[in-house]
Structure 1
Amino acid sequence: MRGRQREMKVVVTLVLVVVFLGLCGSSSASDAQPQKWWQSIFSGSTSSAVNPVGSSVVFPLYGNVYPKGFYYVQMNIGQPPKPYFLDPDTGSDLTWLQCDAPCVHCTTGSHPLYRPNNNLVSCKDPLCAALHSSDEYDCDHPQQCDYEVEYADGGSSIGVLVQDGFLLNLTNGERRSPRLAFGCGYDQVPGSSNHPLDGVLGLGKGKSSIASQLSRQRLMRNVVGHCLSAQGGGFLFFGDDLYDSSRIVWTTMSRDYSYYSPGFAELLFGGKSTGYKKLLVVFDSGSSYSYLNSQAYQALVSLVTKELSGKPLREAQDDWTLQFCWKGKKPFKKIGDVRKYFKPLALGFENGLKSKSLYEIPPEGYLIISSKGNVCLGILNGTEVGIDFNMIGDISMQDKMVIYDNEKEVIGWTPANCDRIPKSKMDIM
Structure 2
Amino acid sequence: MIKEILIKQKKEMEVLFKKPYIERSKITQAEKHLNSDLVKVVIGPRRAGKSVFTAHLFKDKLPAYVNFDEENLVRLKNYDELIKELYAMYGENKYLLFDEIQNLPGWELFINRLHRAGYNILLTGSNAKLLSKELATSLTGRHIPIEILPFSFKEFLKAKNFVFKQEEMALPEIKGRLLNYFESYLKDGGFPELVVKNLEPTGYLDTLLDSLIFKDIVKRHKLRLAERIYDLQIYLLNNFASEFSYRKLANQLDFNSVITLEKYLRYLEEAYLVYVLSRYSHKAGERLASPKKAYLVDNGYITAKAVQASPNNGKLLENLVFTELLKIGYQPNHNLFYYKTRNGKEVDFILREGLKVKILIQVAYRVDELGVKDREIKALAEASEELKCDNLIILTWDYEGESVCQGKKIKFLPAWQWLVAAG
- Greater share of helix: 2
Considering only CA atoms, is the larger Rg found in Structure 1 or Structure 2?
2
- Greater share of strand: 1
TM-score by length of structure 1 reads 0.27
TM-score by length of structure 2 reads 0.28
The higher relative CO (CA closer than 8 Å, separation ≥ 6) is in 1
